[in-house]
């Protein structure tokens, strides 16, 4: 059964806005603006009200996590994933389920990227599916993919 009238926030951290320009051999050639357009259209088709926010600032991401009054957060915190205990604490502190998303497979990259200090406090982590990870997260939220966490 699909869920409707869900409100989600997609938060993108440092350098995600440069996708398409930055290391296209790693992150692909599709630019951020095209991604935003596609993800909002997809969310609308799933009847998910979706805000999409980018910030290079750790504090802004924390403020958005703490102040969000919706159903789900999809979070790609970029390099903050690997060392921002402040973002991890924010995710841990809120009752909103958070899905961690990464364009690349963080487990097959440099050693420092293999660790996510945020993952233990998220309901799921999608890594290595490119932009598809965001679409998968929306499918998960909508009920198109079976939910696997407690109290469902």
> What amino acid positions are annotated as catalytic residues?
27, 102
Q: Residue 49's beta-bridge partner residues?
A: 7
Q: Which two tokens stand for residue 139?
A: 């499918």
| Strand order from edge to edge, sheet including 6-12 | 48-54, 6-12, 72-76, 98-102, 124-127
CB 43 within 8 A of CB 35: no
Distance, in Å, from the CA atom of 72 to the CA atom of 66, rounded to the nearest integer, reads 12
- Does residue 47 contact residue 2 with C-beta atoms inside 8 Å? yes
């Amino acid at each position: 059964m699909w869920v409707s009238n869900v409100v989600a926030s997609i938060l993108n951290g440092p350098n995600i806005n440069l996708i398409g320009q930055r290391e296209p051999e790693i992150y692909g050639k599709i630019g951020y603006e095209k991604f935003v357009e596609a993800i909002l259209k997809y969310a609308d088709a799933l009847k998910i009200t979706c805000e999409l926010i980018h910030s290079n600032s750790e504090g802004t991401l924390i403020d958005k996590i703490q102040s969000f009054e919706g159903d789900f957060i999809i979070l790609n915190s970029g390099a903050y994933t690997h060392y921002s205990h402040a973002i991890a604490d924010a995710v841990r502190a809120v009752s909103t389920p958070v899905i961690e998303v990464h364009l690349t497979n963080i487990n097959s990259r440099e050693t420092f990227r293999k660790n996510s200090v945020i993952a233990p406090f998220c309901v799921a982590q999608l890594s290595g599916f490119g932009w598809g990870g965001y679409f998968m997260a929306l499918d998960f939220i909508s009920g198109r993919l079976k939910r696997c966490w407690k109290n469902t």
